[in-house]
Amino acid sequence: MIGLQGINHPWRFRIILFFLFAMGAAIAARIAYLHVFHHEFLAEQGDARALRYIPIPAHRGVITDRNGEPLAVSTPVLTLWANPKELQADKTRWEELALALELPKAELIKRIENNAARDFMYLARGLTPEHGQRVLERKISGVYGKEEFRRFYPAGEVAAHLVGFTNIDEHGQEGIELAFDEWLTGVPGKRQVIKDRRGDLIRDLQVKENAKPGKQLALSIDLRLQYLAHRELRNALLEFEAKAGSLVMIDVRTGEILAMVNHPTFNPNNRRHLTPQAMRNRAMIDVFEPGSTVKPFSIAAALGTGRWTPESTVDTGNGTFRIGRYTIRDVSRGGLLDLTGVLKKSSNVAISKIALDIGAMPVYNMMQSVGFGADTGLSFPGERVGQLPMHRKWGEAETATLAYGYGLSVTAVQLAHAYAVLGNQGRNVPLSLLRQDQTVAAGEQVIDPKISSQVMGMLQAVVEEAGGGGARAQVPGYHVGGKSGTAKKLAVGGGYTESSYRSLFAGVAPIDNPRVAAVIVIDEPSKGGYYGGLVAAPVFGRVMAGALRMLNVRPDNLPTETPTAVVGATQGGRG
């Protein structure tokens, strides 16, 4: 019937064919219109649903010592993350996931359930690529991987206080890592890929932006000297059962810091049990009264006034000197002393009388010119500048105590810098924690070269002549100079403690052509003595002996041998 009706009414058939053709034409026209006039829009919509950009991680810049030895490097790791909503769909695989991650099953379940309403959670960060890939190969729904870098410190605790460390996202948190974070941080790149609706990778298309690694940083320290200083300082603390210690070595000519160590220290590669006390870079953060180690600068101030010469003498009497209600005492009676004798005997009485004769301002100006109470310019996080007091009216007590190292506070770095100025013929060269690849400027002349040379000769006598108090700092084959110091520690609430001391030694070597200045600070030695000449001076001697050899510094104190004549040695040689 239908077929016959179609034959009997051909116009109906033609109408149906017309509408079918019109619909097809309209669809084709619409498709052509969209492809021609809305191609970019449709492409963007399609890409938005399938095209993705995966970040390409950029590794952080390498930190090295002056010779290129690595101090901080970034190694590739794999971070695993999950979509808790997807994990909820297949709880039967949670136990398998826990075993693969080496986590207790109960802990993993608790974490998933606590984040059930979220789309993201970390499963494990910083896994080795091999471990992370084994987990991903299990194809557990909702588990994904992300390439990252982890910071590693080859020198470990030896350079920890100086280099510092980063957090898990490789952002600097302490030390050089923090101070130069922007310089070391790289710029991530982008890779274009196609993913399906579940987030699985379908095809890797192209690299849109290449990752830019962070810039390399070469520090001024010599890792060989760093290891040497670390070992000797640690041994001294163990021998004298001390609380803490610091050691700083500076290149006299360039101002580069060659070594900086502290104890206690920490391992930056494993910070699970890290304590704030162990993190302190005491050489730059802890301030202390330097005691007798500043007496050479008081002597330099006296020589600079023209009122005193190296041969000038001062009478120390019975070893006591009263100023108002204060009594200044010497450990040993010196009688009549010239300026060299003042340093050898470390006479508080003599240096006080000298300071009172020339007035406070020459001493203050001298200490200020060598960097006490001023910023070192190193821009190290948390560094302190100490205190150099300036009184509107200087009393006798304030003048005297300043001259023998009380009433002011310095850091170990500042004290080492001051001795570097003495060793550099009185020129103040700025300090640097970075390797100086270009010629260093001569620096500012702050002490007359003749006076600097005279004081260096006095410091040599302190170490090498009998009764100088610095004999334990001697270095075989080299002439060295230095000064010990022993300072009582300040008590909480004011005043000084009865039995807590800092043992100090500061010096320069070799005397004839100074190359290295060093300072050793031993905090609260409790066994075997506490005087700087006993506790800190031997550390100086051992460290300086090793440092001068490593730096290939020519010896200037080798014994002279008289050749012995051999009678007949050139006769009868033919038989």
User: Alpha-carbon distance 533 to 413, whole Å?
Assistant: 20
Q: What share of the chain is helix, strand, coil (3-state, %, to 5)?
A: 40, 25, 35
146: exposed, middle or buried (C-beta count within 10 Å: 0-12, 13-18, 19+)?
A: middle
The answer to whether residues 528 and 239 touch, using CB atoms and an 8 Å cutoff, is yes
Cβ-count burial 314-334 (b if 16+ within 10 Å, e if not): bebeebebebeeeebebeeeb
User: Alpha-carbon distance 204 to 265, whole Å?
Assistant: 47
The distance in angstroms from the start CA to the end CA of the chain is 148
Q: Please name the residues in contact with 59: beta carbons below 8 A apart, sequence gap of 6 or more.
A: 74, 76, 149, 186, 213, 214
Catalytic site residue 292?
yes
User: Alpha-carbon distance 348 to 350, whole Å?
Assistant: 6
- The enclosing H or E element of 81 equals strand 70-82
User: Alpha-carbon distance 111 to 122, whole Å?
Assistant: 10
- The enclosing H or E element of 126 equals strand 121-127
Backbone angles phi, psi at 309, to 5 degrees: -125, 165
User: Alpha-carbon distance 277 to 326, whole Å?
Assistant: 36
373: exposed, middle or buried (C-beta count within 10 Å: 0-12, 13-18, 19+)?
A: middle
**CB neighbours of residue 231 within 10 Å:** 15
Catalytic residue among 74, 220, 246, 292: 292
| Strand, coil or helix: 218 | strand
The answer to whether residues 242 and 262 touch, using CB atoms and an 8 Å cutoff, is no
Rounded to 5°, angle at Cα 371 from 365 and 377:
145
User: Alpha-carbon distance 314 to 556, whole Å?
Assistant: 33
Q: Please name the residues in contact with 369: beta carbons below 8 A apart, sequence gap of 6 or more.
A: 421, 428, 446, 447
User: Alpha-carbon distance 341 to 311, whole Å?
Assistant: 10
User: Alpha-carbon distance 560 to 27, whole Å?
Assistant: 108
Q: Which residues are designated catalytic?
A: 292
